[in-house]
Amino acid sequence: MNEVTYQGFNVYATSCALKFEMATNAGGETVLSIDGANKAGAEFDWGNKLIFQVTPRETTLFLCAVMGLVPTFEASNHGKSRSKSMTLQNQLDKGVLLLKMQAPRRSVLVPITPDKVFELGCLTMRVLSTQVGLDPGTCLSMLRATAARFYHYKAKGSDPG
């Protein structure tokens, strides 16, 4: 059976859209790349997109937020000028995962529906699996047994010890 290369997927909202894909950063590391575009007229302005890469160090917390193991993910100081940021927030009452990317004078805000949250979880797990060289099942077990519990305590402001 031939392996199919998964290219990523898009999420569309009324005024903004996102594209998620596995990519390689300038250092040759596998990362999750997120492109965000605002609507310009009837189309999305992909030529003027905002690009954000989730670093290997951030991937575990990002995936914990996607999986609902922690309520939020925040990253800042990204890009050449260190002026890009991103927030991912579980909004269970609204049934969405809200993603907000910002750069000077630009922002993209998109609610991600459960079907696309599932796709994002699958893609991010694939990125993490590639980064650490373990199969996705082992990554999931390790994520729950290690990083998720520390991120959970930090998010709650609790002291486990």
CATH superfamily of 9-154: Transcriptional Coactivator Pc4; Chain A (2.30.31.10)
- According to the model, what pLDDT value does residue 9 have? 96
Q: Where are the alpha helices (DSSP H) in the chain?
A: 56-66, 114-132, 136-145, 147-156
Mean pLDDT of the chain: 90
- 35 sits in the region (left: phi over 0; alpha: psi -120 to 50; else beta) called beta
Q: What is the mean pLDDT of residues 99-128?
A: 96
- According to the model, what pLDDT value does residue 4 have? 52
pLDDT band at 125 (very low <50, low <70, confident <90, very high): very high
Lowest mean pLDDT among 64-68, 97-101, 149-153: 149-153
Q: What is the mean pLDDT of residues 59-77?
A: 93
The whole-model pTM stands at: 0.88
Task: Give the domain ranges of the chain.
Answer: 9-154
- According to the model, what pLDDT value does residue 161 have? 47
Contact 22, 30 (CB under 8 A): yes
Question: What's the CA gap between 12 and 112, in Å, rounded?
Answer: 8
For 36, counting Cβ atoms within 10 Å of its Cβ (0-12 exposed, 13-18 middle, 19+ buried), the class is buried
pLDDT band at 5 (very low <50, low <70, confident <90, very high): low
pLDDT tens digits, one per residue of 7-53: 799 999 999 999 999 999 999 999 999 999 999 999 999 999 999 99
Q: Report the length, in residues, of the chain.
A: 161
pLDDT tens digits, one per residue of 134-151: 999 999 999 888 876 777
- According to the model, what pLDDT value does residue 145 have? 83
